[in-house]
Amino acid sequence: MSELINKDKEYIAGTYARFPVEIAYGKGSEVYSFDGKRYIDMTSGIGVTAFGTADEEWVKAVTEQLTKVQHTSNLYYTSPCVELAELLCKKTGMKKVFFANSGAEANECAIKAARKYAANCKGDDFYTIITLENSFHGRTVTTLAATGQAHYHELFQPLTDGFVHVRANDFEALKETALKHKTAAIMIECVQGEGGVIPLDAEYVKAVAEFAKENDILLIVDEVQTGNGRTGELYGYMNFGIYPDIVTTAKGLGGGLPIGAAMLNEKVENVFSFGDHGSTYGGNPVACAGAVSVINRLDSELLSSVKRKSEYVFSALKDAKGVKSVSGMGLMIGIETVRPASEIVRDCINEGVLCLTAKTKVRLLPALNIPDELLAEAIEIIKNACAKEN
Ligand SMILES: *Cc1c(COP(=O)(O)O)cnc(C)c1O
């Protein structure tokens, strides 16, 4: 074992089952280990490096800001966060943005906003938030409570009270539960990412959005993974023709620096008053400058190329040997395989391709601008790994 791996094991808290890959540097959709081995990156840091590793435009945006001012606190005005908030509002129709530093924190903000809104409008016993089974909303004690997967909860009881999970795509169950409780909000991922890259049924999403509106229950869409071009639209909800009250995002927004955002529509734009919420790092100028450069590049041409690359991957893998099914949307793709996903990921590493898992599936989240030749090369290697007989 290498020195780096030994020291990592000695000094880093053991929360990650890392693969034996030591990444030294990269460019775009290719990364290199210290010994010079090249990998095609089908993970983009779990959907974070939207334009790949050390992308020139992104590096320029970030370093230019870095040489001006790297941090000020939120006691003063700075321009990158304002520019980013304006961009996000103009492109989504949302009215105001709160900046955080991660997906979990963006969701924490959404949960606080929903609870305050419901307390103001209906009474402070209207605190229940309904989420879906098999969802993933983060690792804080509250976003774990929101996460509808019991195995994440077990060792950390008691979690924050007031979260109820219902089966996805069962509208009657959701309606019944929402009316039985004093419900502040419903929170969904349009495509369940960590849960196995499973898009929700389009009619279900529409029905939930209508029901929420009729009953003045807020609809929160968690776009931490599906956002920022990942599904082939700027935000995943745009594929479903709905208009959420709160949209949270993170991962790809920053292009590689930590940032999260909760976007608030006209119903909730003024829910927070001074002191209700905050973050020392939130809206950090360097992270926001990077995010501005990412969002500015997600134009219709880029989004249609995401859709085109997605179609290519779906058609290449759909009937491939050892592949049971392919799910997902845009460049967020889950592959149900005959062999265990972990073995396929291991074989792909040996052949120079990095991929992810999600539950029992192999998951692909390549950079949105992965060149067609690299995508084809990676898919060929993944196909071979799926087809392999044990
Ligand atoms: C990754 C993820 C989160 C958590 O984001 P962090 O930045 O790790 O806190 C929340 N929701 C969804 C849908 C995610 O995919």
pLDDT in tens, 272-314: 999 999 999 999 999 999 999 999 999 999 999 999 999 999 9
Q: How far is the CA of 387 from the centre of ligand 1 (A)?
A: 32
Model confidence at 214, pLDDT cuts 50, 70, 90, reads very high
Has residue 325 got a pLDDT over 90?
yes
- Percent of the chain residues past pLDDT 90, beyond the cut: 99
Distance (Å, whole) CA 85 – CA 288? 9
**What average pLDDT does the segment 7-32 reach?**
97
pLDDT band for position 222 (cuts 50, 70, 90): very high
- Give me ligand 1 centre to Cα 384, in Å: 31
pLDDT-derived band at 215, boundaries 50, 70, 90 = very high
Sheet containing 246-249, strands listed edge to edge, beginning at the edge strand earlier in sequence: 96-100, 260-264, 246-249, 218-223, 183-188, 128-132, 163-166
The pLDDT-based confidence of 231 (bands split at 50, 70, 90) is very high
How high is the pLDDT of residue 389?
87
Give SS3 for 321.
Answer: coil
**Is it the case that residue 390 has pLDDT exceeding 90?**
no
* Best mutation site among 102, 147, 224 for ligand 1 pocket (most ligand atoms within 8 Å of CB): 224
Pocket test for ligand 1, best of 225, 249, 279 (most atoms within 8 A of CB): 225
**% of the chain surpassing 70 pLDDT:** 99
pLDDT at 320 over 80: yes
**Residue partners of 350: CB distance under 8 A and separation at least 6:** none
Mean per-residue pLDDT, 258-281? 98
Ligand 1 centroid from CA 137, angstroms? 6
Q: What is the mean pLDDT of the chain?
A: 98
pLDDT digit string, tens, across residues 70-84: 999 999 999 999 999
Residue 239: band (very low, low, confident or very high) from pLDDT cuts 50, 70, 90:
very high
Q: Is the pLDDT of residue 1 over 90?
A: no
pLDDT at 312: 98
Pairing relationship of beta strands 38-41 and 30-33 according to DSSP bridges:
antiparallel
To the question of pTM greater than 0.85 for the whole model, the response is yes
Ligand 1: residue whose CA is nearest its atom 5? 103
Q: Report how far residue 368's alpha carbon sits from residue 242's, in angstroms, rounded to the nearest whole number.
A: 24
Measured CA to CA, the distance from residue 227 to residue 194 in angstroms comes to 14
**Protein residue with least CA distance to atom 11, ligand 1:** 137
- The DSSP H or E segment spanning 296 is helix 285-297
Task: Please tell me if the CB atom of residue 222 comes closer than 6 angstroms to any atom of ligand 1.
Answer: yes
25 pLDDT higher than 90: yes
- Per-residue pLDDT tens for 98-157? 999 999 999 999 999 999 999 999 999 999 999 999 999 999 999 999 999 999 999 999
Per-residue pLDDT band at 269 (split at 50, 70, 90): very high
